[in-house]
Structure 1
Amino acid sequence: MATQQNGRARRPSITDVAKRAGVSVGTVSNVLNRPDQVTPATRERVQAAIEEMSFVRNASARQLRAGTIRTVGAIVLDIANPFFTEVARGIEDRLAPDEYTLMLSSSDEDPEREARYLRLYEEHGVQGVLVTPSQGSLDVILAMRDRGVGVVLLDATSEVEDVSSVGVDDVRGGQLAVEHLLALGHERLAFVNGPDTIRQCVDRRAGVVAALVAAGRDPEDVLTEVTVGSLNADAGEQAMNEILAMGSDRRPTATFCVNDLTALGALRALRRADVPVPASMAVVGYDDVAIAPMLTVPLTSVHQPTHTLGWTAADLLLREAAAGDGAEHQRVLFQPELVVRASTAGY
């Protein structure tokens, strides 16, 4: 049971348990950590006191005394994006067997917010951080690394020799989407893209242009690009409304969206405008989140191995922490795959 302190409930301490059981604090510690060193009768008495008082050990204090904090921080662009939710699950599944706790935050694509969370994580003494950078500069992240905090870039590529990264070849992903639409016979394409401060947006655009050039098409003639400020469904809907407002002689017949959330918004705009998909507008997304095949018109999307991304990044971080100064840094780059569904099929 909780005791009272200044009129408020106070969680029982190991000292409270020791007093209740009539043993030393050291004996309670042994029951919790080295039960084989305590006689069965004493163990039973201490366990009875623990249960009676609803005692829960303070893991943070114990780790501080041992000089280690079994916590990993992760900063992603947007927790609300199902892509990052699935990545986070991969991180958790790797951390759990080693009894690490995950602290997860969104930068909301804001470098200042990202820097603030990095500082807070460092102040909390995390074992290391996994970061999806919100801008091209890694200065704040590298400064943290130089102070001894382990860092692995998540859903990103690293150009720094001693910083590991786990990402996907987004240039190839952009190529896959456009190659598919060209193969279906589309002559005018739209690309709903995000800010050029986000590496994924830049790389996917490079893939779009590369695919058009390789097919002998002039991007200036074939491609309509609509840039949105945020990578969410509302932005995707607004972008599609802009595309639909174009004259019929210039309007694209297919749209590639930089992620699945913007694609969901684009599909919403098409439904509200009674534009049939894919007969009058084909749509391709990127990420292949879990809900993509469940939509009224299942979404064609460029698949990323989300769970594997998170699991691999966390594994790299833990292995580097265990290796210390002798850690081998790696750049892991997965290849995307196109998953074709009804939003483009049958054009």
Structure 2
Amino acid sequence: MSVKYADNLMGTIMPLSKQSYDAYCRRDTVQVLHSETYSGQNWTEKLLTHQNIRLVEVLQGITNAHFHLIDPVASVYIADQQNSRFSSPLKSWVEENGTIQIPHEQVYQEETALIIGGMKNHWHFLINFLPRLIMARKIMGSSFEDLDCVVIHEATPMQQDFLERLFPDVVFRQIPAGSTAAYGFKSMFYLDFPKNTLLCPEILSLTRAVVLEAYEPRPTDLAAGIFVDRNPDIPRRRLAGRANKLAIFEEHGITPIFCEDYNFSQQIALFHGADFVAGLHGAGMSNILFCRVGTPVLIIDYKWPSEMYALAQALDLRPLPILAEKVYNKTVEMRLRDLEITPKQLDAALTALKALTD
């Protein structure tokens, strides 16, 4: 991508005003190309929520490493469509007096681009980023094929292979994490999407169907019952008393796995073929996206309400959560502490859920 600067890319640029995407879409000068309402559960409040998904086109549009929408003609900056951690303007774009200004460093491409964004985290990649991309293709129809590129996060090698499998004809332009530059395009399509607190069954079911059609997972010799374990050498939300608990899993015919030991194709086959899934709250459990409808899922969680439970519900699985005790460790952040459940709790839960597979 070529680098240009404010004086020869877009001329004089006024300071930007922060605005919501909803308010932006109501502007007389903005043409909403598509608007559709979807329903889903807001897992933080355990409420059914309705939200519009709208597609707009911005000529000479700009984005950045947080995949915000900047319309230099309207002089607006929109950040509220991203994960809450990234829903404020880039700090490097905010001057001491509080005004938002497009930086001098700008990367411009004479292309028509679709801004999708994303995160390397496996959960956000599968449950937020991928559905947004699949919905964009559905909404845009044949226009999707006319795009010069789709702008995403800095993907891992495994994520890149996965995207090439699902979208073999798409050029993905990646914005490096931590970049402070402005990225401009001749024409930029932008799709809003429910936040990661809202899980829509229809959208997730479509996502699962697209992945399964692309990979066609077949029966494997891998375990029919799996426990999504966490690396015991990394002090991050591990199962306390792990050795004793693994013995209980073994008694129930459940095999522990580390998702990072498998490529995407193997993970899809593993979870799609599983008759029973158990796991600790973590990114690896986002793979229940590939489970068959009705699969029993035991979730060892550290919080309630929980997005893991809500995801299983949205996917029409049969979830059972266990709210574990967090093991005190003053050197570890509260949400990352090891999780403790009693052997009787685990045995009872596995007995009850495994009965659903008989």
Q: TM-score, normalised by structure 1?
A: 0.28
Q: TM-score, normalised by structure 2?
A: 0.27
Higher strand share: 2
Larger Rg over CA atoms: 1
Higher helix share: 1
